[in-house]
Chains A and B, each alone.
Chain A
Amino acid sequence: MQSETTSDVLLTPKKEKGLKAFLRKCKQQQTLLLMTIPFVIWVIIFKYLPIWGWTMAFQDFKPALRFSEQEWVAFKHFLFLFTDDRFLGVLRNTLAQSIINLVLGFVTAIGLAILLNELSNIKFKRVVQTISYLPHFLSWVVAAALVSSVLSIDGIFNDLLTSLGLIKEDILWLGVGEYFWGILGAAETWKNVGWNAIIYLAAISMIDQEQYEAAKIDGASRLQRIRHITIPGMKSVIVVLLIMNIGYILESGFEPQYLLGNGMNVEYSENIDVFVIKYGISMFNFSLATAAGIFKTIISFIFLIAANSFSKKMGQGGLY
């Protein structure tokens, strides 16, 4: 095949090069093309084609009608969203849940990584790590079942608080809306803190050990070493992850909110994704649900770009 192509190159006149060279290359790499083209078609159908559905947000979409027969309503659904008290509450929940999860997620993961790094017993460190990321692999359904059991009337949380004398009678924790954000933050932390700590541990392991030795000789205490060596050593990882997560600020997830949410805490549990599920799937208001989804995607994009350029200005480098 190779000799054939070289003779081809010698024989072909220059002006035919463009298309012919392309076709020859295609033939040469036909196996590679065969390996990718079906999946490129797949990705276009399953991931890109649905974007066409965004047009629904600007129509009064009726599934029975064809595209040309749909009634166009411009920004009606968006305007409705921003005057709807329920959606404004949903927006508040989304932001509050995200910010709580973001802050808690960062602080606990960084904290755990530092504490694990300070352990001198490698075996104990490995055991703690193994146990700490176990919940990450359980499904949210299982996690939600565990959380609701811990928080139930006869669950350990009530028992513990009663025996410590902190509460007088058992509380139905998931039945009080005001507690939901905190419960969600705690559940997210429980599930993901070990997993999230991995990347910080990797960053810490890159720090030059001689820095610690030098600091010790200079008489720096344990906490001073953590503050002046370990934390600065993680700085670039923290910044990159922070930017990524700020981009996802409206993506507070939907599984725990959907699974732990109930009629009693709905005013605090319902976020944009749950709203989309309820309006779209249960109430068949496809247009309104899609409008809410588009709003979320666009805001996320703006946040991502803003956070990235801010970090570049601060001299930290960005994602792209």
Chain B
Amino acid sequence: MEFWKLQKSGMGKTREDVIFDTCNVIFLVLLCVVMLYPFLNQIAISLNDATDSVKGGIYLWPREFTWNNYSHVFEEAAVIQAIIISVLRTLIGTGVGLLCTAMVAYAIAQPKFMFKKSVTIIFIMTMYFNGGLIPTFLLMKELQLIGTFWVYILPTLISAFNLIIMRSFIEGLPKSIFESARIDGAGDFRIFFKIVLPLSLPVLATVALFVAVFQWNQWFDVFLYNSSNEHLTTLQYELMKILQNSSTTSSGDMASAFANSSDSGSNQVTPKSIQATMTIVASVPIILVYPFLQKYFVKGMTLGAVK
């Protein structure tokens, strides 16, 4: 923009400016290539015949196009189960987490609330320390959450960061709305559900996306609490297993199961193509919501930075 002004005032681009701009654009284009290439490469491998991929040389385009890898992955019952759990934890975790966060945020945004300060501090403190891995693990054991689905939802119900973002937003709503609603005899629950929630849609969207991405991407809590419960593992965890196996041995659990399940040459799958296919399956939802993410998260970031 500053440039355009310059040109208008008649000074024009200097030679130095032209060189700088050209280098800058070239550099940033290269950066975009580096950012995108690994992902595009995996798409190409996932759509290429598995035995052909082993020869190498697949970059951005499949050489022998096939849907074979995908049909293999989706035929595996464990993958379908993992997808169901991943979707469930994302939906439930986001819905419940959002409601709880919004409720506490509403309460601590009320200037007259008697425990406004202490409740805020109790939550903010959790940003700076935690009990650590082992004590938390033992607590989950004590609460008998290990081996259940709820171990994905309960421990991460409210994040202090999201709480502060929401509180800042609600505090920024015009005070007169609350006052007139109170005069009309509305209680806090009604104000919260009928007025605050509808008015907070932008921040709700931001936080919902943060939570949804977090839930979808989680694998460590599966590893910790449910690694022996096959019906409760998530997609990211299954991908993690494939990755771990391929880095230690040549064939992993699922990969070797895949390989054994198909004996005819043309239907062959390899750990490499399975890994690529699972990588794409595990990231597609993120890519799909990305346009929405994009729109809201910068807002959320700046909101969070205020406080």
Partner of B276, one of A49, A149, A154, A216: A149
The answer to whether residues A137 and B32 also contact, given A26-B114, A146-B39, A149-B276 and a CB cut-off of 8 A, is no
The answer to whether B131 touches A50 (Cβ under 8 A) is: yes
Residue of A whose beta carbon sits closest to that of B60: A156
Of the listed stretches B118-126, B172-180, B199-207, B250-258, name the one at the interface; the rest are far from the partner chain: B118-126
A11 at the interface (CB under 8 A from B): no
Pick 13 A–B contacts, CB within 8 A, sort by A.
A31-B189, A32-B113, A43-B123, A47-B131, A52-B135, A54-B131, A54-B132, A56-B134, A112-B31, A131-B36, A138-B286, A190-B34, A293-B134
Partner of B38, one of A118, A139, A146, A194: A146
B61 at the interface (CB under 8 A from A): no
B74 at the interface (CB under 8 A from A): no
Give bound CA distance, A54 to B135, whole Å: 7
Main secondary structure of the interface of A (DSSP, over half): helix
Q: Mark A130-161, 1 if CB is under 8 A from B, else 0.
A: 11101101111110111111100010100100
The answer to whether B243 touches A29 (Cβ under 8 A) is: no
The answer to whether residues A35 and B192 also contact, given A134-B290, A144-B243, A146-B39 and a CB cut-off of 8 A, is yes
Residue of B whose beta carbon sits closest to that of A146: B38
Partner of B279, one of A54, A135, A145, A255: A145
Give bound CA distance, A175 to B5, whole Å: 53
The A103-125 residues at the B interface (CB cut-off 8 A) are 112, 115-116, 118-120, 122, 124
The answer to whether A43 touches B126 (Cβ under 8 A) is: yes
The answer to whether B100 touches A39 (Cβ under 8 A) is: yes
Partner of B220, one of A190, A255, A301: A255
Residue of A whose beta carbon sits closest to that of B39: A146
Residues of B within 8 A of A255 (CB): 220
The answer to whether A280 touches B134 (Cβ under 8 A) is: yes
Partner of A49, one of B38, B139, B219: B139
B107 at the interface (CB under 8 A from A): yes
The answer to whether residues A47 and B114 also contact, given A128-B31, A149-B42 and a CB cut-off of 8 A, is no
Report the minimal beta-carbon distance from B185 to chain A, rounded to whole angstroms. 9
Residues of A within 8 A of B293 (CB): 137
B88 at the interface (CB under 8 A from A): no
The answer to whether A294 touches B132 (Cβ under 8 A) is: yes
Residues of A within 8 A of B189 (CB): 31, 35
Partner of B24, one of A119, A135, A202: A119
The answer to whether A132 touches B31 (Cβ under 8 A) is: yes
Residues of A within 8 A of B132 (CB): 50, 53-54, 276, 290, 293-294, 297
Number of A-B contacts (CB under 8 A): 233
Interface size on A, residues (CB 8 A): 86
The answer to whether residues A145 and B42 also contact, given A280-B133, A289-B133 and a CB cut-off of 8 A, is yes
The answer to whether A46 touches B217 (Cβ under 8 A) is: no
Give bound CA distance, A46 to B100, whole Å: 15
Report the minimal beta-carbon distance from A38 to chain B, rounded to whole angstroms. 8
The answer to whether A141 touches B243 (Cβ under 8 A) is: yes
Partner of B301, one of A154, A198, A221, A289: A198
B56 at the interface (CB under 8 A from A): yes
The answer to whether B38 touches A149 (Cβ under 8 A) is: yes
The answer to whether residues A137 and B188 also contact, given A52-B135, A142-B279, A290-B135 and a CB cut-off of 8 A, is no
Residues of A within 8 A of B294 (CB): 130
Residue of A whose beta carbon sits closest to that of B112: A29
B213 at the interface (CB under 8 A from A): yes
User: Which of B41, B100, B138, B305 counts the most A-chain CB atoms under 10 A from its CB?
Assistant: B138
Give bound CA distance, A209 to B106, whole Å: 38
Residue of A whose beta carbon sits closest to that of B34: A190
Partner of A148, one of B31, B135, B247: B247
A263 at the interface (CB under 8 A from B): yes
Q: Mark A301-317, 1 if CB is under 8 A from B, else 0.
A: 10000000000000000
The answer to whether B305 touches A149 (Cβ under 8 A) is: no
Q: Mark A172-214, 1 if CB is under 8 A from B, else 0.
A: 0010000000000000001000100011001000000100110
The B105-147 residues at the A interface (CB cut-off 8 A) are 106-108, 110, 112-115, 119, 122-123, 126, 129-139, 143
User: Which of A216, A260, A301 counts the most B-chain CB atoms under 10 A from its CB?
Assistant: A216
Give bound CA distance, A99 to B1, whole Å: 37
